[in-house]
Amino acid sequence: MATLYGIGVGPGDPELLTLKALRIVRAVPVLAYPAPETGDSLARAIVAPHLTGGQTEIAIRIPLEVARFPAQEVYDAAAQDIAAHLKQGSDVAVLCQGDPFFYGSFMYLFGRLARDWKTVVVPGVSSLMACAAALGTPLAARDDALCVLPAPLPEDVLEARLRDCDCAAIIKLGRHFPKVKRVLDRLGLATRARYVEHASMQNQRVRALSEIGDGEVPYFAMLLVHKRDEVWRVD
């Protein structure tokens, strides 16, 4: 019986691919990956330096206008394509930026295929850890309660969760940046928030919160907040 692989290819730097991901990506006859409606797939670009050609490729093209509310019919069709290869006995590897099970679109294929097909997930380096590395600051330490908060959450939910935790990662910033900034200001946390976009990629950028205009924040931007100075200090 053929295997469906969900492969975490890491946050963007092709060198942050794991040995396991590399071995499987090279070995399978069929690769699938999310891609914009036109243009190149970021997940594919991460593994491209390692491909030798000769594999069947399935680009799962996600229309931009429904990217916020995923296009379920796109995943229906992709799951059918993938299942057709599995039925023929061909293993299929789905490339996932970051980690497949950490806010990844792989779950939409997993939900459609994992009941019927052997499914193996290869964990990847997450953008969460890549952002901390880019900022040069620990994400969480000792007994910190860490909250991961998608920026599209309602303003009052963001405020309550941020108030209660020791440290937080606010992900998927994009057009929600002004709302997040208001919440941080109200909680007195604006100076403790550190911003990074496209962590580990060639266009990685670390900036002070005060420098950022509201309209120029990409989806793949994150804020890390820690309420203590020198989180490593043991008193």
Q: What gap in Å lies between CA 89 and CA 29, rounded to an integer?
A: 10
Does 97 sit near a copy of itself (CB under 8 A)? no
Q: Out of 3, 55, 67, 70, which residue is the one contacting a copy of itself (CB under 8 A)? A: 70
Choices 31-39, 67-75, 187-195, 210-218; region in contact with a copy of itself by CB under 8 A: 67-75
Q: Minimum Å distance from CB 2 to a copy of itself?
A: 17
| H or E stretch covering 201 | none
Where does this chain touch a copy of itself (CB under 8 A) — which range of 27-35, 157-165, 182-190, 202-210? 157-165
Q: With contacts defined by CB under 8 A, how many residues of the chain interact with a copy of itself?
A: 67
**Is residue 29 near a copy of itself by the rule CB under 8 A?**
no
Position 219 contacts a copy of itself (CB under 8 A): no
| 74 near a copy of itself (CB under 8 A) | no
Token pair 């964990």 is found at 123
Q: Which residue has the tokens 């399935």?
A: 58
Residues belonging to the chain: 235
Distance CA 167, CA 163 (A): 9
Cα 88–Cα 38–Cα 33 angle in degrees, nearest 5: 35
- Residue 8 is a binding residue for a copy of itself (CB under 8 A): yes
13 binds a copy of itself per the rule CB under 8 A: yes
Smallest gap from residue 126 Cβ to a copy of itself (A): 6
Contact 12, 46 (CB under 8 A): yes
| C-alpha separations of 71 from 75, 77, 148, 154, 189 in Å | 7, 10, 24, 22, 36
Phi, psi angles (nearest 5°) of residue 169: -120, 125
Residues lying near a copy of itself in the complex (CB under 8 A) = 8, 10-11, 13-20, 22-23, 69-70, 72, 99-104, 107-108, 110-111, 114, 119, 121-126, 128-130, 132-133, 136-150, 152-153, 157, 160-161, 164-165, 200, 230-234
